Amino acid sequence: MISEAEVQHDEPVLEQLVRSREDLVLNGWTDRQIGAAVRAGVLFRIRRGWYIDAEERDGLWPEEQHRAHVIAVARDSRGGAVASHTSAAVLWRLPLHRIRCVRVHLTTSPAGRISSAPDVRRHAAPLDAEDLVTINGIRCTSLARTVLDLIGALPLEAAVALADAAERQMAARLREWDVEAVESWRCKLAERLGAASGMRGIRQARWVFGFTDGRAESPGESVSRLQLRRLGFAAPELQVPIPGPDDTMYYVDFGMTDAGCFGEFDGKGKYFDEAMRSGRSVEQVVYDEKRREDWIRGTTQQRFARWQTEHIGTPYALGKRLQSFGIAPP
């Protein structure tokens, strides 16, 4: 008998948005109306028999769009297969940096069976009890197994972002960092990597494991760390605390001590995501950021460089951006 842990993330709103044909018909839709709504772009057909409001879907991050697909497949699924790989990653709310997910990944033990479907990628691999959990009612691989399956297979940028996010999920407690949780997490992954010597992509997986730092708070920060490493900078300090005015505390993404400066990845969400703005206007956020940067510059007497998503696509792009601030590897 396979034992499973139950993981409950925040309220499963997306689960409520994914609707079956039977549910739509029960609520007064006809098959003709459903077809017309799909053609008109009002409904989005996730897969045969499963739909989501097109406007709602358009407002989702790519990872959440794939999670809707995983939900639909899971509700159709029969047998012992579990969501895995990138499909488990989205259930764990891990980022998939620049990864386009077309098919849902399911894994079963070598003796198991998975029904064939054009939108499903099937894997046969041993699944131990510790490899399995249930998240909001969907069976999937554990966080450690999901990370192990992906960090050697994804492009390096995506692998680093995913590994950082998984470690952060295990150890971040608001602004506190649970050192014991990190050590336990890393010991678990190290043991698994040690037993996976023949795994495809094992060399990259081990490098990513050694490079992982969950204090990076976004995929943009994770990829920035990687590009800084490729440019020859020393490993930066992350989330550097700077005492601010009136007993406040500012945190800077990167303390680049070897270059004598601070660095910050400026994701667009800081300015355009209403939840991240916490009720402030875009203009107020820009003003607050300027005051914060001015304070940090003035009190530390160090340079301060900012960069955006378009600057981290390659080491060259980030290097060129840093040069515009007069910053180069020592």
User: In 3D, which of 91, 220, 63 has the Cα closest to residue 157?
Assistant: 220
Q: Is the pLDDT of residue 3 over 50?
A: no
Asked if 140 and 268 sit in the same domain, the reply is no
Tens digits of per-residue pLDDT, 31-87? 999 999 999 999 999 999 999 999 999 999 999 999 999 999 999 988 889 999 999
* Whole-Å CA distances, 180 to 131, 162, 184, 222, 324: 22, 21, 6, 22, 40
Mean pLDDT on 142-160: 98
Q: Is residue 197 part of a domain?
A: no
Asked if 142 and 38 sit in the same domain, the reply is yes
When mean pLDDT is compared across 5-14, 117-126, 193-202, 312-321, the lowest value belongs to: 5-14
Asked if 230 and 319 sit in the same domain, the reply is yes
pLDDT at position 272 is 61
How far is Cα 3 from Cα 110, in angstroms, rounded to an integer? 18
Asked if 22 and 135 sit in the same domain, the reply is yes
When mean pLDDT is compared across 47-61, 193-207, 265-279, 300-314, the lowest value belongs to: 265-279
Asked if 113 and 243 sit in the same domain, the reply is no
pLDDT at position 172 is 84
How far is Cα 123 from Cα 167, in angstroms, rounded to an integer? 25
Q: Is the pLDDT of residue 269 over 70?
A: no
Cβ count within 10 A of residue 194: 9
Burial of 97 (0-12, 13-18, 19+ CB in 10 A): buried
How far is Cα 60 from Cα 92, in angstroms, rounded to an integer? 16
Q: Is residue 178 part of a domain?
A: no
- % of the chain residues with pLDDT over 90: 80
Secondary element (H or E) of residue 254: strand 249-256
Q: Is the pLDDT of residue 202 over 90?
A: yes
The answer to whether the Cα torsion of 289, 240, 319, 327 is positive or negative is: positive
Q: Is residue 38 part of a domain?
A: yes
pLDDT at position 10 is 62
Asked if 102 and 11 sit in the same domain, the reply is yes
Please tell me the total count of domains within the chain: 2
How far is Cα 291 from Cα 271, in angstroms, rounded to an integer? 15
Mean pLDDT on 150-172: 96
Q: Is residue 166 part of a domain?
A: no
Asked if 10 and 135 sit in the same domain, the reply is yes
Structure tokens at 147: 């990370």
When mean pLDDT is compared across 62-71, 136-145, 199-208, 272-281, the lowest value belongs to: 272-281
Cβ count within 10 A of residue 182: 19
Asked if 27 and 141 sit in the same domain, the reply is yes
Of 92, 121, 150, the residue at which a domain comes to its end is: 150
Structure tokens at 176: 């506190």
Query: Of residues 296 and 4, which shows the higher confidence score?
Result: 296
pLDDT at position 191 is 94
Tens digits of per-residue pLDDT, 210-268? 999 999 999 999 999 999 999 999 999 999 999 999 899 999 999 999 999 999 999 76
Query: Of residues 281 and 19, which shows the higher confidence score?
Result: 19
- The DSSP-derived string for 277-325 is HTT--HHHHHHHHHHHHHHHHHHH--EEEEE-GGGSSSHHHHHHHHHTT
Asked if 145 and 237 sit in the same domain, the reply is no
Asked if 30 and 124 sit in the same domain, the reply is yes
Asked if 118 and 34 sit in the same domain, the reply is yes
pLDDT at position 165 is 98
Tell me the whole-structure pTM to 2 decimals: 0.91
Average pLDDT, the chain: 92
Mean pLDDT on 10-29: 91
The answer to whether the Cα torsion of 211, 216, 220, 225 is positive or negative is: negative
pLDDT at position 5 is 64
Q: Is residue 182 part of a domain?
A: no
How far is Cα 161 from Cα 135, in angstroms, rounded to an integer? 21
pLDDT at position 74 is 96
Asked if 15 and 102 sit in the same domain, the reply is yes
Q: Is residue 200 part of a domain?
A: no
* Residue 10 neighbours by CB under 8 Å, 6+ apart: none
Task: Give me the long-range contacts of 240-246 (CB less than 8 A, separation at least 24).
Answer: 242/295, 242/296, 242/299, 242/300, 243/299, 244/292, 244/295, 245/295
Helix, strand, or coil here: 219? helix
Cβ count within 10 A of residue 261: 19
Residues 154-174 as b/e (b if ≥16 CB within 10 A, e otherwise) read beebbbbbbbbbbbbebbbee
Cβ count within 10 A of residue 23: 12
Q: Name the residue range of residue 226's domain.
A: 219-323
Q: Is the pLDDT of residue 328 over 50?
A: yes
Of 97, 125, 150, the residue at which a domain comes to its end is: 150
Q: Is residue 177 part of a domain?
A: no
How far is Cα 260 from Cα 76, in angstroms, rounded to an integer? 56
Q: Is the pLDDT of residue 147 over 70?
A: yes
Q: Is residue 67 part of a domain?
A: yes
| Residue whose entry in the numeric block shows the structure tokens 């409520």 | 16
Q: Is the pLDDT of residue 197 over 90?
A: no
pLDDT bin (cut points 50, 70, 90) of residue 276 is low
Of 150, 180, 197, the residue at which a domain comes to its end is: 150
pLDDT at position 1 is 32
